[in-house]
Each structure stands twice: as C-alpha cells, then as structure tokens.
Amino acid sequence: MIVKLILARSDLRRWHLDLADRIDCMAGVQCAVGFADADSCQLSDRVERLFRLETLVDRSLTPAASTHIEASALEARAAMVGTPTLLLDLTPGGAEAGLDDASAADLWHLTFDGTRGEPGLVTALLAGRTPVVEIRCGYNLVESGRVGTEHQGELLRSFEDCLARTATIIEGALRRRFGGSPSSPPAAVMPEPAEGPTQLGISELTQRAISILKQAALKRVLRTAFYSPHWRVGWRRIVDGDLFDLRAYPEGGWEFLPDDGTRFYADPFPIELGGRTFLFIEDFAHRRQKGVISVVEFDRDGPMGTPQTVLEEPWHLSYPFVFEAEGEIWMIPESSAASRIDLYRATAFPGGWKRVTTLVAGVEASDATLIQHGDRWWMFATVRDGRKGAFSDALWIWHAPSFRGPWTQHHSNPVLVDIASARPAGRIVERDGVWWRPVQDCSVRYGGALALARIEALDENVFQQQVETVLHPGRDGWPGRRLHTLNRSGSFEFIDSSAPPSLKYAPLRWARREPPGRRLADLPKVHAFPKAQA
C-alpha cells in the first residue's frame, strides 16, 4: 500500500520528512511524495522573520520540525511509481487537482480550525487559540484532535509543538485506516471562528516583534530576581461535599501549606491509614531546579510540622501517585526526565521507598494515574511522541492484569489528543458506578484550569470521555493564576495553585514564624496495613 503526501515544493519542512519516515515504518505501507508548486502555499515572509527573531532572542530555541529542507531530501519518494492507496494533501488547497492519480485513491485533507495548510495553524496561534486539527475525506471526519503547547505566546515554539503533534494525529489515523482499529476517532470541539492574519502588515509585525522582546525581558527579570513559577498546596476539611459533589469551589475556601519561599509544594496526594492522613507532595527547590517527594502528616487541625523528604532520585520527581494494594503502600511518581514509569514500594511507611520495577520504559510520560476497573488495571498518562511536542495534549492508556504489569498499550494510543482534557490531574474517582477523571485544561496556559471528565467507555479498544465541569483559577473563589491537581482522602481535600513569585533575596517568610517540624525519623512508622479490597 502506498500513502502519497502532497507537499508544497516552496515550503518543505523537517516535519514532512519525519512524517514520511514514520509512515515507512508502518507494516506493509510505503510513503511517496507529490509536489505542488503553488506559491500561495508559502507562509508570509514576515511570519518567517518573527520565527528568526525568536531564535535570536532565545538562544536555547533550536528549531526542528519547522526547519526548511530542500526538495532533494524527498526526491527518492517523489520518484516512486505505483498507484497510491491514499493521498494526503498537506497544502492550503487545490494542489491535488493537477495530479494524475488524484482520482485513483482516497483523498484526505489536513485542516487547522477548518483552514487547510500551515497558514491555518499560524492563524490560530496568532489569534491565541489552540487549534483543532482535522483530517477529512470529503465531508467525512477521519480524525481530529486539539493540539497544544506549554509555550503560549511564543509563536515558533508553539508552531513546533503543534507540528509535532499533528504528525502524531496523522500517524494514528493511518494506523487506524490500515490496521483496522475498531475505535472511533477522538472528537474535538471546534472553537468559534476568529480572524488572525497570516500575511502580517508592517504595523502587526512591529507589534509582534515588540511583544517578543518584552516577553524575553520579563523572563530574564523573573529568572534573575524571582523564584518563578511558585506553586502552593491548598487544603480543607470536607463538610459540604467535595468538588466532585459540588461542581464548584466550596464557600469556606482553603488553607495553604506554608513554605519558606525558596521552594514550592505541588501535586498533593493524600492517603489515610489507621485514621492518620499523610500528604505526599512534589517538593521543588528553586536553586536546584529539581523536585523530590516529601510527606507531612495531618491531624484534624492541619499539617503537623513541615514536609520531610522521603524519595529522591538523580532526576526530577513529581506527581507522587500513592495507593494501597495487596496490603502494602505503593507509589508511581512522575519520572519523565528518566524516560520511564517506575513503581516504588514503602518499606517503612511513610518513608523507606524502594524502586521495585519499571512498568513502562522508553516513554516521556507525565502524571501516570491508575485505576482498577473490571478484571484489569488501567494506567493513564500524557506522553510526548519521541520527545517532541507538548507534554499535555496526548493521552495514552495501558492495561494489565496486575498493577505490577505486564502493561499492554491500548489499541488506539494516543486515545485522545486534546490540550484541554488529556493530562491527568489527580486520582480517578467512582461515583454511583461512573468513573470521573480530574483533568488539566492547558488550552490557555499550563495549569490554566481544572476540569472534571466523565469516562463513558473504556476497554482494550475504545476510550471515550465527556468534560462536564471546568473550574478556572482567579475567580469563583480560587486565588492564583493556575491550578492542576485535585485529590481527597478521608475528611480532607487538597488542590494546588500558583502563588505570587518569591523574591530570591527576600528574608525567609516562614522560617521565623513556623515552629520547626518533626524529622521524618521522629514520626511513628506504620507497618501494618489493612488488606486491599478484592
């Protein structure tokens, strides 16, 4: 079978070559290339100037997917003979009309917010939107997803991230087309159409250039004078139902776990054992730029002392998904920097954590979250595809007969591409026989909002969810600009949010006022656990 990419000869990029290589790796499929010569395929020269300006301002930015390549890099594929099984048009439109084989195959078109080609992607990014990518065959929807980035406001970085995830969507659609997957393509909601120029005028170019320079200067100030970003953990005793019951913020508000200003706490995961509540958190030291896992015990009045470190690795750790099974306590912290998902066991709870096994290797996965559903365990995480694209827009699922594994990929991975609802935001909970996922909405910014999604279908071949409630920071009773984790245990509920940046050279705010916390060694160890429920 032959898949033929229709590309604009005047605007060939590295992601086209990478996509062709990925198609060639599919069993029984070859990738050919056909060129279109329409000049209208090319992005505005002024957009390209903005790209170059961003690389000059930010020396750490190295373009990859968007890098221009010569047609010679694709000549071998352009010379391939044979009737294609499928044509995939990646140009702004009309380019396939001159191809002799256009009527001899299925013809797919790629659109961004309903506009064909890369100009549609740039239009969405300039308008501040996370674009919906669609692949259509005529009027029929083949595949869709809302791609995203953690670099909103940075045009080139966002462009790179979206191109990388677009390749993921295309590959998934082709695998379903030629592999016979029974699942339906994940649906994405089209945003309201909005105008955003791809042919920038001089005034628009000047405004964009000034904005880029301002953002770069602001970042330098923040890096030099402040610890930023700075997160904080909120907690409360539940008296009126939790957020899954209320679908809104509680009237009583939240208390905050104090920090000393040189570190932040985030990703709260509580667990209750024998009437005692232990809160595990990401403990991030700004000067080290690295997270460890710490724990603090709660009594009915709140935290008992200050958090103490219980797990540290050479790489960054966060999102300490802690759970009980088989009469013991286990943890799966995020270790995306090590490109694997690891399982730890507590030998002297709340400390004594030992790595037991690697559940999934070779993946840059964020926020792995487990549930036991039916006769299997299910693991949810967002995954970067080959270390490309955003961290938060592609949801992968694995299943296994035991939480120890062996773990098998879901037949339709990635099961969802949606920057607004893919990334986990805490434990999945069951209410009245329905599973609910707290999810991160990063469509505006990382940690932009928290949503509650109802799982409507889950098996080895199908996954479907429906977002029911979105909770925004900065209003509705929640201070701060960001939030991204929600969990409860017993009578406590926990959440996290961003706090104002902390001055690097300011006196420690809490060190003088808070009594010294107990050392971890002073905490009574818990050795006996109730047996896990069957």
Residue 407: inside a domain:
yes
Which of these ranges, 101-105, 243-247, 330-334, 427-431, has the smallest mean pLDDT?
A: 101-105
Residue 249: inside a domain:
no
Q: What is the 3-state secondary structure (H, E, C) of 271-287?
A: EEECCEEEEEEEEEECC
Residue 521: inside a domain:
no
Residue 107: count other Cβ atoms within 10 Å of its Cβ. Answer: 20
Residue 500: inside a domain:
yes
What integer pLDDT is reported at residue 369 of this predicted model? Answer: 98
Given a cut of 70, whether residue 14 has pLDDT beyond it is yes
Residues 183 and 91 in one domain: yes
Residue 109: inside a domain:
yes
CATH of the domain at 168: 3.40.50
Predicted confidence (pLDDT) per residue in 251-301, tens digit: 888 899 999 888 999 999 999 998 899 999 999 999 899 999 999 999 989
Given a cut of 80, whether residue 450 has pLDDT beyond it is yes
Looking at the structure of the chain, the number of domains it has is 2
Predicted confidence (pLDDT) per residue in 335-358, tens digit: 999 999 999 999 999 999 999 999
Residue 229: inside a domain:
no
Beta strands across the sheet bearing 434-441? 429-431, 434-441, 449-458, 463-471
Residues 149 and 208 in one domain: yes
What integer pLDDT is reported at residue 434 of this predicted model? Answer: 94
Residue 86: inside a domain:
yes
Given a cut of 70, whether residue 186 has pLDDT beyond it is no
Residues 313 and 363 in one domain: yes
Predicted confidence (pLDDT) per residue in 456-476, tens digit: 999 999 999 999 999 988 765
Residues 400 and 454 in one domain: yes
**Maximum C-alpha span of the chain:** 79
Residues 163 and 266 in one domain: no
Predicted confidence (pLDDT) per residue in 382-404, tens digit: 999 877 899 999 999 999 999 99
Residues 185 and 260 in one domain: no
Closest CA to 488 of 403, 420, 431: 431
Q: Domain of 72? A: 2-219
- Long-range Cβ pairs for the range 220-223 (8 Å, 24+): 222/501
> Average pLDDT, stretch 212-232?
73
Residue 243: inside a domain:
no
What's the pLDDT band for 505 if we cut at 50, 70, 90?
A: low
Contacts of 288 (CB under 8 A, 6+ apart): none
Given a cut of 70, whether residue 333 has pLDDT beyond it is yes
CATH of the domain at 278: 2.115.10.20
CB 384 within 8 A of CB 415: no
Residues 207 and 316 in one domain: no
Residues 266 and 122 in one domain: no
Residues 342 and 265 in one domain: yes
Within the chain, how many helices (H) and strands (E) appear? 7, 31
CA distance 482 to 58: 25
CA distance 87 to 198: 26
CB 15 within 8 A of CB 7: no
Residues 205 and 342 in one domain: no
CA distance 170 to 321: 32
Residues 259 and 210 in one domain: no
What's the pLDDT band for 531 if we cut at 50, 70, 90?
A: very low
Predicted confidence (pLDDT) per residue in 295-320, tens digit: 999 998 999 999 999 999 999 999 99
